Structure formats: C-alpha cells, structure tokens
Structure 1
Amino acid sequence: MPQITEEFMREMLAKSRPYSVVILKAGPKIGMEGVRDIIWQHGCRNMELRMAGLLPIICRVTDDSDVAGIGIFNASEEEVRKIMDEDPGVQAGVFIYDVHPCQSFPGDSLPG
C-alpha cells in the first residue's frame, strides 16, 4: 500500500467537494404487474442522467436485500430529490429512496 503523508491528506481533503448519494430501495409496488417495463424506463432515465453528467456513478445492488441500487449524483440534495421524484419507478411506487449529502473527490471513477 502507498504511504500517505499528512500533507498529502490535507491537500486531497481540500480538493473534495459535495455530492449526493441515493440509496434506492424496493417500494410497496415492486411486485406489481408490468414492473419490468417500469424498471426498464427507470434504467433508461438513469443512462440519460449519466450522459448529462448528473449521475456519474450508478450501481445496481444484486443481493437479496431491499436495496435496489446506489447512485452518486453531481447535484445538490434538493436537486436530487426533484430528479428522483420524477423517476418513473418512484412515481409508480416500485422504488423508494433516501438522499444523503456526501463528499468525494472530483474525477473519481470505478476501475474499468
């Protein structure tokens, strides 16, 4: 593991900036008829948000928990609530969500 100096750590922390993380969970209508089409619409919308630079990190959760996904938005908590309230899956009751402010480093990404 690389050694991190206190100076480097302070420099990196000064570069961090606010983002918003969404925890997407199964909603009360997750088992409704036609849910696959709604989830597809939700996924297409996520790709649009990703291409627009608003949702650079999208993670589908694949275990048996009620957590369906995690996303990191390049937007304020208020903006993200508006975006999520317009999501077809949320509007249909297929998903519910929590938004949390967070800090991270610009340019971070998942390895390819």
Structure 2
Amino acid sequence: MNEMLSHASPYSVMILRTGPKYDTDAAAAAIWEHGRRNFALRAAGALSVVLPVDDESGICGIGIFDRDVDTTVELMNSDPGVLAGVFEFEVHPARGFPGDALPVAED
C-alpha cells in the first residue's frame, strides 16, 4: 500500500449543485451547452470522469479534473451553466492512482 500511495497523483473533485436559476425556462439551453463543454474538456484531457447524479439531493454531478484546484475553479467559472446561474460548484483537492478507471457497463 505504501508503494501505491507514493504514486498517487493530484486531481480536483468538483461537486456541481443546482443554482438559483435551475428550474427556469432558460435552464435547458444552458445545461445543453454545459454538457457540450464537458465533452470538449474530456477530449482535451482536463475532465477525466463525469458523473451525473440522478437524485433529489441538489447535487447535479461530480467531475474529476486532471488539473489543480485553481485551474479547475477557473474552468468552472467560465462554464455556461454556472454563468447562467443554473449551477453552482465547489472544488476539492484529491489524490488518485493513475490508470484508475470506471468499469465498462455490461448490457
């Protein structure tokens, strides 16, 4: 375990919550643009894992960023959903093991 811990890499965990304009008519367009941007961030290697949350907790999603906290905050401050007031977020520093991945879902 100590050997594995020495290879842990820094990541940022972003928790996305509903914002004050989440339940407005304009929210759908902002959410669509937020999703499109997530795909671009994934393709660029900045957003390693996207986890939409499907419950009534007020948490909309969790993202694992391969960036430091300050860079992740900067990225999220320019997110279309955040700019529109549809989402709010918080970012936390984290460590993970390179190569970790979600298992492939079986049909």
TM category (shorter chain) comes to over 0.9
1:81 aligns with 2:97: no
Amino acid corresponding to residue 74 of structure 1 in structure 2: D
What SS does structure 2 have at the residue aligned with 1:15?
coil
What SS does structure 2 have at the residue aligned with 1:30?
coil
Give the equivalent residue in structure 1 for 2:50: 58
% of aligned pairs identical?
48
RMSD across aligned positions (CA): 0.6
| Unpaired runs of at least 5, structure 2 | none
Give the TM-score normalised by structure 1. 0.91
Q: How far 1:34 moved relative to its partner? A: 2.1
The structure with the largest alpha-carbon Rg is: 1
Aligned partner (choices 10, 18, 33) of residue 2 of structure 2: 10
Give aligned pairs, total: 104
Q: How far 1:32 moved relative to its partner? A: 1.4
| Unpaired runs of at least 5, structure 1 | 1-8
Distance in 2 of aligned mates of 1:64 and 1:32: 17
Q: How far 1:65 moved relative to its partner? A: 0.9
